[in-house]
Amino acid sequence: MEMRKRRDLGMTLLELVVVMAILGTLVTASMGLFLRVIRGGTKTEALLASQAGVSLPIDVIESAIRNAQEVSAVGGGGCPGSGNSLTLINSDGGVTKFSLTPLGQIASNSATITPQDVAIEDLGFQCERNEGSPDLITVFIKARGAAVNQVSIAPLKDYKIKVSLRTY
C-alpha cells in the first residue's frame, strides 16, 4: 500500500525524461517545418520581385523594337546576326541602343531601365531577316532577384521574347 501512495505523489525521473524527449522531438520537427515555410515564402517573394523587375525592361525593349524603322546593329554586325547589344533606328531618325552594363543592369542609351533589386546576368539578341516579312528579334534575358538579407535565394530565370518590327 505504501508503494502506491508514493507513486501517486509525482512522476519518476524516467517518466520526465521520456516526456522531455517526446516534446524535444515535436519542437524540432515543428521548427524545421516552420523554417521551410518561411524560406519558401522568401523564395517566392524574391522570384516575384525578379519577374516584376524584368517586366519593365522587356516592355521597353519590346515597344522600341515594334516602333523601330530598322535594326542597325546586333552585337558587332547587322541583321541577320546575334550579339549582346541591339541598335535600332527609330522612325524619327533617332538611335536607340540596348546593352548590359558591367553592374548587371540593362541600359537604353546609357540610362538603366532595370530596377536595382534585379541582377541581369546575361542579355542577348538575335535578329532574323526573311524576304517579304519584317525583321524578327529574339531577346534573351537571364535574371535573378536581389539578395534577401544578404543571401541570394532567387533562382536564375530565363526570359525569351520574340518581337517583329512593324511594317509601315
What's the CA gap between 64 and 168, in Å, rounded? 15
Strands 111-112 and 106-108: antiparallel
Average pLDDT of span 106-130: 86
Burial of 151 from C-beta contacts in 10 A (0-12 / 13-18 / 19+): exposed
- The answer to whether residue 2 scores a pLDDT higher than 60 is no
The SS3 assignment for 62 reads helix
Q: What is the mean pLDDT of the chain?
A: 82
3 state DSSP class of 93 = coil
> Nine-digit cell at 155?
533562382
Q: Which of 58, 63, 67 is nearest to 166 (CA)?
A: 67
What is the pLDDT at residue 1?
46
Mean pLDDT of 34-38: 81
Tens-place pLDDT, residues 125-163: 999 888 888 889 999 999 877 655 545 556 778 889 999
Q: Could you tell me whether strands 136-145 and 68-74 are parallel, antiparallel, or unpaired per DSSP bridges?
A: unpaired
Lowest mean pLDDT among 5-14, 91-100, 130-139: 5-14
93 has a pLDDT exceeding 50: yes
101 versus 110: the higher-pLDDT residue is 101
What is the SS3 assignment for 112? strand
Alpha-carbon dihedral of residues 106, 111, 114, 120, nearest 10 degrees? 20
Give the predicted TM-score (pTM) of the model: 0.67
pLDDT > 90 in the chain, percent: 21
- Sequence-ordered list of residues with C-beta below 8 angstroms from that of 115, at least 6 positions apart, any chain: 53, 56
